């Protein structure tokens, strides 16, 4: 198994949830955007899909895959932690006049309750409802309703809440290695330094308590933690 960060870049985000490429004059919240490619013996799997950033009029995530000699049609599964636009917009190529799916052959796994929550927040700037609607109408969707279970022999999921009401996380296990993707409940290594309940989360206390438990288990079981929003690193090893 190989796990590869598909980094789109470092960005700043303002109160209107607008993302701009990070430079010295940038204000607002600073974060990286980096989905992860999981390459098993039989499948290519994405953990979240990025911001949909374009570089030379091509989706950056597709260009990043090409560097790994993976074509977009070779992606088999896409596992979404939640539906905020910086995690799903890379599913769609919006450059052309007629939108297309970046990964037309992939099956996309979505928590149904998270989708229903998103629809109830139609005034929220955290979502891109046009892209979400296009994905739902055109992609192959597996609707997830369980609180935990297995995606495959290697991948376990759990609904955690925290950042959003039905936010979910994933463990990827291969022989003696355990990769953990905490998505936006554990997006940066610095979140383990301070035990803080963040106001930007739907339930910050739950996310904080989970991080304490995850760090304890990570040290005990030597996890490799995948960091979606960390500016400097993609994988934190214990």
* Mean pLDDT score across all residues of the chain: 96
What pLDDT, on a 0 to 100 scale, did the predictor assign at position 176? Answer: 85
Residue 107 pLDDT > 90 = yes
Residue 175 pLDDT > 90 = no
Burial class of 192 by CB neighbour count within 10 A (0 to 12, 13 to 18, 19+): middle
Phi and psi at 124, nearest 5°, equal: -85, 135
User: In the predicted model, what is the mean pLDDT of residues 196-216?
Assistant: 97
pLDDT tens per residue across span 6-39: 999 999 999 899 999 988 777 888 999 999 999 9
SS3 of 13, please?
strand
What pLDDT, on a 0 to 100 scale, did the predictor assign at position 238? Answer: 94
User: In the predicted model, what is the mean pLDDT of residues 217-224?
Assistant: 97
CA torsion sign, 30 to 93 to 69 to 2? Answer: positive
* Residue spans per domain, the chain: 2-237
pLDDT tens per residue across span 207-217: 999 999 999 99
């Amino acid at each position: 198994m190989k796990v590869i960060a598909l980094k789109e870049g470092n960005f700043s985000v303002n109160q209107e949830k607008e993302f701009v490429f990070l430079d010295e004059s940038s204000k607002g919240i600073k974060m990286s955007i980096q989905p992860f490619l999981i390459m098993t013996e039989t499948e290519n799997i994405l953990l979240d899909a990025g911001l949909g950033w374009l570089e030379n009029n091509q989706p950056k995530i597709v260009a990043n895959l090409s560097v790994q000699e993976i074509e977009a049609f070779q992606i088999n599964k896409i596992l979404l932690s939640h539906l905020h636009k910086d995690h799903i917009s890379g599913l769609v190529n919006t450059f052309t006049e007629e939108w297309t799916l970046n990964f037309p052959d992939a099956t996309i796994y979505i928590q149904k309750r998270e989708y229903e929550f998103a629809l109830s927040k139609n005034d929220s700037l955290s979502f891109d409802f046009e892209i979400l609607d296009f994905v739902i109408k055109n992609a192959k969707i597996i609707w997830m309703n369980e609180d935990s279970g297995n995606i495959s022999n290697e991948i376990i999921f759990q609904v955690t809440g925290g950042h959003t009401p039905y936010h979910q996380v994933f463990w990827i296990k291969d022989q003696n290695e355990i990769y953990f993707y905490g998505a936006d409940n554990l997006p940066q290594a610095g979140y383990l330094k301070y035990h803080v309940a963040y106001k930007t989360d739907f339930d910050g206390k739950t996310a904080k308590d989970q991080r304490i438990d995850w760090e304890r288990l990570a040290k005990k079981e030597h996890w490799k933690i995948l960091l979606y929003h960390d500016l400097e690193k993609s994988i934190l090893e214990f």
